[in-house]
A and B are shown apart, each in its own frame.
Chain A
Amino acid sequence: MENNVLIEVRALSKSFGELEVLKSVSVDIRKGEKVVIVGASGSGKSTLLRCLNCLEDPTGGEIIFENENLADPKVNINIHRQKMGMVFQQFNLFNNKNVLENIMLAPVTIRLKRLRTEKRRALFKKGDKPTETKEQILAEEREKAMKLLARIGLEDKAEVYPSTLSGGQKQRIAIVRALAMNPKVMLFDEPTSALDPEMVGEVLDLMKQLANEGMTMVIVTHEMGFAREVADRVLFMDGGVIAEQGTPAEVFGAPKSERLKAFLAKVL
């Protein structure tokens, strides 16, 4: 089981000035595991998630991903972020790009940059000539993006700009935008909290599909029903530490600590 660990968080801490948000948190995320993080606002659950791909720089501790410590500022975080998809509460689709461009931008930018580097190397006889061309990359990524759009049934929206879409459509596009990078893990930061109630279902359905396909997922959410259904493990955060964790049945069915009982009483 141990060598199946994808992300290993060791004694992670994070302070914003005087305020200590995470207090030496340690947790392993295993391959294919669905981990749901719950807790009251201010408990540090979003911060923990955002530290996993260093959108917040940890102030202490380690995050081991593919044998590298992401908390080390010397590590090239961009390369690792390509393998960690992230979905935000506010969707954060690129406003100046249409839907197709939103999905294609990151893979195309990164592959074209690699292509230029390879060409430069070939020029100085330090490597082989790249076999792919710019046109191939664009065509491939376009096809992949259209497939992803087809998957969520929004091919007809490829050319429109995000402002004309509903919240549920935006969030589903944000999810496939992250998938376009073929990530090894998906991080969800309250993906349904900004949605109108009637749109929550379509986003959760897509997330369930991903879960069934074996994607490793770390999800911060207030959707307890979803947590119960999808999670392999539920982490309850309180005051910057993981106060309790276990299977959904354990956490929701037989809470041990008083604080978890109080929290569940409020949200269920």
Chain B
Amino acid sequence: MYLEGLGNTLLIALIAAAIGIFIGVTMAMINYINKKTGKLKPAAAVCRFYITLVRGTPVVLQLMILYFVVFAFWDNGIMIGAITFGLNSGAYVAEIARSGFESVDDGQMEAGRSLGLSTWQTMRSIIIPQAVRNCLPPLFNEFIMLVKETAIVGYVGIYDLGKIPGLIQSRTFDYLFPLLIAAALYLVVVMALTRILHMIERNLAKSDRNRGGVRNGK
């Protein structure tokens, strides 16, 4: 049971992270291009509205609205949970990615454009790789938050790791151990993830070790 719950938790977190990164990076890019070229104004306004809305309301309510209203016809709770958290984390990732883009020196875009590259060509080869590296640590943080926060899906009856102790309690009347076991499992997963993410980060930094650890050095 614990393993099934753990599997669901990780599944929801993974799908949510994929959706979140896609939405977040897209929104941050729209915002960045709008700022640099003045195009895409309406799209940037929509993004701002979305971020305000999502960050301004509790995720429990968002989950309930999606589960009981928007997707009322759909009984795949895990997918609905993943979509909810994806949409939610998209708004946060957008802010993380925005700071990543802003940490890239303006001269990088100017240099690319001055050589005759288009905005998109410069974004792809120069701006995005630098922005991604600069926002990796907070992005990983967001992912770890997702793993734990998704426990909220228990509210709408999805069996994830956070829900399991309650189930076991109702059968065995043992309160302490199920909670401890679930907590330990979360801890192990998060520690393992932290290790993996650190390794990825180090690997990415290796490609230009010559930078000598200076993140935004010119």
Chain A residues proximal to chain B, CB less than 8 Å: 53, 55, 78-86, 88, 90-98, 105-106, 109-110, 113, 160-164, 174, 177-178, 181
| Interface size of B in residues (CB-CB distance below 8 Å) | 25
Q: Nearest CB to that of A93 among chain B residues?
A: B111
Q: Nearest CB to that of B218 among chain A residues?
A: A90
Known: A53-B114, A94-B108, A95-B218. 14 other contacts (CB 8 A): A81-B114, A81-B115, A88-B111, A90-B105, A91-B107, A91-B218, A92-B105, A92-B111, A94-B112, A96-B129, A105-B117, A106-B112, A106-B116, A164-B212
A156 to chain B, nearest CB (A): 14
Q: How far is the CA of A181 from the CA of B114 in the complex (A)?
A: 11
B117 to A110, Cβ gap below 8 A? yes
Q: How far is the CA of A127 from the CA of B217 in the complex (A)?
A: 46
Q: How far is the CA of A82 from the CA of B118 in the complex (A)?
A: 11
**How many interface contacts (CB-CB < 8 Å) are there between A and B?**
92
A163 to B217, Cβ gap below 8 A? yes
B212 contacts across to A, CB distance below 8 A: 163-164
B110 contacts across to A, CB distance below 8 A: 55, 88, 92
Chain B 113-147 against A: per-residue CB contact (8 Å), 1 yes, 0 no?
11111100100011001100100000000000000
B170 within 8 A of partner (CB): no
Q: How far is the CA of A174 from the CA of B116 in the complex (A)?
A: 15
A105 to B218, Cβ gap below 8 A? no
A92 contacts across to B, CB distance below 8 A: 105, 107-108, 110-111
Q: How far is the CA of A181 from the CA of B113 in the complex (A)?
A: 13
A63 to chain B, nearest CB (A): 15
A76 to chain B, nearest CB (A): 9
Q: How far is the CA of A178 from the CA of B115 in the complex (A)?
A: 7
B76 within 8 A of partner (CB): no
